[in-house]
Protein backbone atom coordinates (compact mmCIF):
# COMPACT_ATOMS: atom_id res chain seq x y z
CA UNK A 1 0.00 0.00 0.00
CA UNK A 2 1.13 3.53 -0.74
CA UNK A 3 0.97 5.75 2.35
CA UNK A 4 2.80 8.88 1.19
CA UNK A 5 3.98 10.37 -2.08
CA UNK A 6 6.57 13.06 -2.50
CA UNK A 7 7.71 14.27 -5.86
CA UNK A 8 7.53 16.85 -8.62
CA UNK A 9 4.10 18.11 -9.63
CA UNK A 10 3.57 17.19 -13.25
CA UNK A 11 0.03 18.50 -13.65
CA UNK A 12 -2.82 19.88 -11.55
CA UNK A 13 -6.47 19.61 -12.54
CA UNK A 14 -9.53 20.38 -10.39
CA UNK A 15 -9.68 17.52 -7.89
CA UNK A 16 -6.65 15.69 -9.30
CA UNK A 17 -2.90 16.03 -9.38
CA UNK A 18 -0.22 13.99 -11.11
CA UNK A 19 2.85 13.58 -8.91
CA UNK A 20 6.06 12.44 -10.66
CA UNK A 21 8.04 10.19 -8.32
CA UNK A 22 11.21 8.78 -9.85
CA UNK A 23 9.87 9.00 -13.39
CA UNK A 24 6.48 7.44 -12.58
CA UNK A 25 3.44 9.73 -12.64
CA UNK A 26 0.88 8.90 -9.97
CA UNK A 27 -2.65 10.19 -10.55
CA UNK A 28 -3.97 11.27 -7.16
CA UNK A 29 -7.54 12.43 -6.50
CA UNK A 30 -7.62 15.07 -3.80
CA UNK A 31 -9.64 17.82 -2.17
CA UNK A 32 -9.77 21.34 -3.50
CA UNK A 33 -8.25 22.43 -0.19
CA UNK A 34 -5.17 20.23 -0.77
CA UNK A 35 -4.79 21.63 -4.29
CA UNK A 36 -4.93 25.18 -2.88
CA UNK A 37 -2.22 24.22 -0.37
CA UNK A 38 -0.02 23.09 -3.26
CA UNK A 39 -0.41 26.51 -4.88
CA UNK A 40 2.42 27.21 -7.31
CA UNK A 41 4.81 24.76 -5.71
CA UNK A 42 6.95 22.57 -7.94
CA UNK A 43 6.96 19.64 -5.52
CA UNK A 44 4.24 17.97 -3.50
CA UNK A 45 4.17 15.76 -0.42
CA UNK A 46 0.80 14.08 0.12
CA UNK A 47 -0.45 11.51 2.60
CA UNK A 48 -2.18 8.80 0.58
CA UNK A 49 -5.20 6.58 1.07
CA UNK A 50 -4.89 3.63 -1.34
CA UNK A 51 -8.02 1.91 -2.59
CA UNK A 52 -7.63 -1.36 -4.47
CA UNK A 53 -10.50 -2.28 -6.80
CA UNK A 54 -11.02 -5.05 -9.34
CA UNK A 55 -10.24 -2.71 -12.21
CA UNK A 56 -7.32 -0.80 -10.70
CA UNK A 57 -5.78 1.09 -7.85
CA UNK A 58 -7.05 4.52 -6.83
CA UNK A 59 -4.99 7.00 -4.83
CA UNK A 60 -6.46 9.79 -2.68
CA UNK A 61 -4.07 12.45 -1.42
CA UNK A 62 -4.26 14.81 1.54
CA UNK A 63 -2.07 17.61 2.83
CA UNK A 64 -2.45 16.64 6.50
CA UNK A 65 -3.13 13.69 8.79
CA UNK A 66 -6.36 15.27 10.07
CA UNK A 67 -7.75 15.46 6.54
CA UNK A 68 -6.74 11.84 5.82
CA UNK A 69 -8.35 10.64 9.06
CA UNK A 70 -11.58 12.54 8.32
CA UNK A 71 -11.65 11.00 4.81
CA UNK A 72 -11.24 7.50 6.20
CA UNK A 73 -14.01 8.09 8.74
CA UNK A 74 -16.32 9.42 6.03
CA UNK A 75 -15.85 6.50 3.63
CA UNK A 76 -16.63 4.12 6.50
CA UNK A 77 -20.15 5.60 6.62
CA UNK A 78 -22.71 3.50 4.72
CA UNK A 79 -23.49 5.10 1.36
CA UNK A 80 -20.54 7.50 1.39
CA UNK A 81 -17.90 6.77 -1.19
CA UNK A 82 -14.62 8.52 -1.94
CA UNK A 83 -16.25 11.04 -4.32
CA UNK A 84 -18.69 12.29 -1.66
CA UNK A 85 -16.00 12.22 1.04
CA UNK A 86 -13.74 14.41 -1.14
CA UNK A 87 -16.64 16.79 -1.80
CA UNK A 88 -17.34 17.11 1.94
CA UNK A 89 -13.68 17.76 2.72
CA UNK A 90 -13.43 20.24 -0.15
CA UNK A 91 -16.17 22.34 1.40
CA UNK A 92 -15.44 21.71 5.10
CA UNK A 93 -12.06 21.56 6.80
CA UNK A 94 -11.66 18.60 9.17
CA UNK A 95 -12.21 20.79 12.25
CA UNK A 96 -15.30 22.33 10.63
CA UNK A 97 -16.62 18.84 9.85
CA UNK A 98 -16.05 17.82 13.48
CA UNK A 99 -17.97 20.89 14.60
CA UNK A 100 -20.83 20.20 12.18
CA UNK A 101 -21.08 16.60 13.43
CA UNK A 102 -20.85 17.61 17.11
CA UNK A 103 -23.63 20.18 16.76
CA UNK A 104 -25.75 18.09 14.37
CA UNK A 105 -25.79 20.88 11.75
CA UNK A 106 -27.70 19.06 9.01
CA UNK A 107 -28.24 22.21 6.94
CA UNK A 108 -24.53 22.97 6.68
CA UNK A 109 -23.71 19.41 5.63
CA UNK A 110 -26.42 19.32 2.94
CA UNK A 111 -24.90 22.42 1.31
CA UNK A 112 -22.12 20.14 0.05
CA UNK A 113 -22.68 19.14 -3.59
CA UNK A 114 -23.73 15.49 -3.80
CA UNK A 115 -24.82 15.23 -0.16
CA UNK A 116 -28.56 14.89 0.25
CA UNK A 117 -30.59 14.91 3.43
CA UNK A 118 -30.45 11.13 4.03
CA UNK A 119 -26.70 10.94 3.42
CA UNK A 120 -26.12 13.92 5.73
CA UNK A 121 -28.24 12.31 8.46
CA UNK A 122 -26.24 9.08 8.13
CA UNK A 123 -22.95 11.00 8.36
CA UNK A 124 -24.12 12.84 11.48
CA UNK A 125 -25.35 9.64 13.10
CA UNK A 126 -22.39 7.40 12.30
CA UNK A 127 -19.63 9.96 12.98
CA UNK A 128 -21.07 11.25 16.25
CA UNK A 129 -18.23 11.06 18.78
CA UNK A 130 -15.74 9.66 16.25
CA UNK A 131 -14.16 12.94 15.15
CA UNK A 132 -11.85 14.94 17.37
CA UNK A 133 -14.12 16.84 19.74
CA UNK A 134 -11.39 19.27 20.81
CA UNK A 135 -11.10 20.57 17.27
CA UNK A 136 -14.79 21.36 17.18
CA UNK A 137 -14.70 23.90 19.91
CA UNK A 138 -12.05 26.20 18.47
CA UNK A 139 -9.37 26.34 21.16
CA UNK A 140 -7.99 24.89 24.34
CA UNK A 141 -10.19 26.93 26.67
CA UNK A 142 -13.35 26.11 24.74
CA UNK A 143 -12.28 22.48 24.34
CA UNK A 144 -11.52 22.09 28.04
CA UNK A 145 -14.82 23.65 29.08
CA UNK A 146 -16.85 21.55 26.62
CA UNK A 147 -14.98 18.41 27.65
CA UNK A 148 -15.75 19.11 31.31
CA UNK A 149 -19.45 19.50 30.49
CA UNK A 150 -19.45 16.22 28.55
CA UNK A 151 -17.80 14.54 31.56
CA UNK A 152 -20.64 15.89 33.69
CA UNK A 153 -23.14 14.07 31.47
CA UNK A 154 -24.16 16.66 28.89
CA UNK A 155 -24.23 15.75 25.19
CA UNK A 156 -21.36 17.08 23.03
CA UNK A 157 -23.69 19.30 21.00
CA UNK A 158 -25.18 20.82 24.18
CA UNK A 159 -21.73 21.40 25.65
CA UNK A 160 -20.38 23.14 22.54
CA UNK A 161 -23.51 25.28 22.22
CA UNK A 162 -23.36 26.35 25.88
CA UNK A 163 -19.66 27.21 25.75
CA UNK A 164 -20.09 29.23 22.56
CA UNK A 165 -23.08 31.06 24.06
CA UNK A 166 -21.18 32.21 27.15
CA UNK A 167 -17.82 33.03 25.56
CA UNK A 168 -19.03 36.58 24.85
CA UNK A 169 -19.84 37.09 28.56
CA UNK A 170 -16.37 36.26 29.87
CA UNK A 171 -12.83 37.48 29.35
CA UNK A 172 -12.08 33.99 28.03
CA UNK A 173 -9.04 33.30 30.19
CA UNK A 174 -10.38 31.09 33.00
CA UNK A 175 -11.86 27.64 32.36
CA UNK A 176 -13.62 27.71 35.71
CA UNK A 177 -15.44 30.93 34.84
CA UNK A 178 -16.49 29.62 31.42
CA UNK A 179 -17.65 26.36 33.00
CA UNK A 180 -19.66 28.17 35.68
CA UNK A 181 -21.41 30.38 33.09
CA UNK A 182 -22.03 27.40 30.78
CA UNK A 183 -23.63 25.43 33.64
CA UNK A 184 -25.87 28.40 34.41
CA UNK A 185 -26.78 28.58 30.72
CA UNK A 186 -27.65 24.87 30.61
CA UNK A 187 -29.79 24.94 33.77
CA UNK A 188 -31.98 27.84 32.65
At 76-106, the pLDDT tens digits run 999 999 999 999 999 998 988 998 898 888 9
User: 135: pLDDT confidence band, cut at 50, 70 and 90?
Assistant: very low
Domains 4-62 and 137-186 share a fold: no
pLDDT of residue 88: 95
Q: Write down the pLDDT at residue 58.
A: 95
Q: How far is CA 70 from CA 30, 76, 160, 176, in A?
A: 13, 10, 20, 31
Mean predicted lDDT score pLDDT of the chain? 86
The residue extents of the domains of the chain are: 4-62, 66-127, 137-186
Task: Give yes or no for a contact between 12 and 20, defined as CB atoms under 8 angstroms apart.
Answer: no
Most confident of the ranges 9-13, 136-140, 169-173: 9-13
pLDDT of residue 49: 96
- Helix (H) or strand (E) holding 124, with range, is helix 117-127
Helix (H) or strand (E) holding 115: none
Specify the pLDDT at position 67: 92
CA 156 remoteness from chain centre? 17
pLDDT at position 181 is 87
Task: Tell me the pTM.
Answer: 0.69
How far apart are the C-alpha atoms of 68 and 161, rounded to whole Å? 27
The helix (run of H) or strand (run of E) holding residue 186 is: helix 175-186
Please state, as a whole number, how many other Cβ atoms lie within 10 Å of the Cβ of residue 161. 20
CATH number of 137-186: 1.10.8
| pLDDT-based confidence at residue 138 (cuts at 50, 70, 90) | very low
Determine how many CB atoms are found less than 10 A away from the CB of residue 60: 23
The CATH number for 66-127, chosen from 1.10.150.20, 3.40.710.10, 3.40.50.10110, 3.40.50.880, is 1.10.150.20
- Given a cut of 60, whether residue 53 has pLDDT beyond it is yes
What share of the chain has pLDDT > 90, as a percent?
Answer: 47
> pLDDT per residue over 6-37, tens digit each?
999 999 988 999 999 999 999 999 998 888 88
pLDDT tier for residue 136 given thresholds of 50, 70 and 90: very low
CATH homologous superfamily of 4-62: Nucleic acid-binding proteins (2.40.50.140)
Residues 6 or more apart in contact with residue 73 via CB below 8 angstroms: 127, 130, 131
> How far, in Å, CA of 16 to CA of 35, rounded?
8
Amino acid sequence: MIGRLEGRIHRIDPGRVIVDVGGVGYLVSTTLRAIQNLGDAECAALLIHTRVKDDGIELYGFSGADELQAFERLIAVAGVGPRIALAVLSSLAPDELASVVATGDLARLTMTPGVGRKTAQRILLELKGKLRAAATTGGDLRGDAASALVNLGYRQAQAVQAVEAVMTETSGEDVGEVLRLALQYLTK
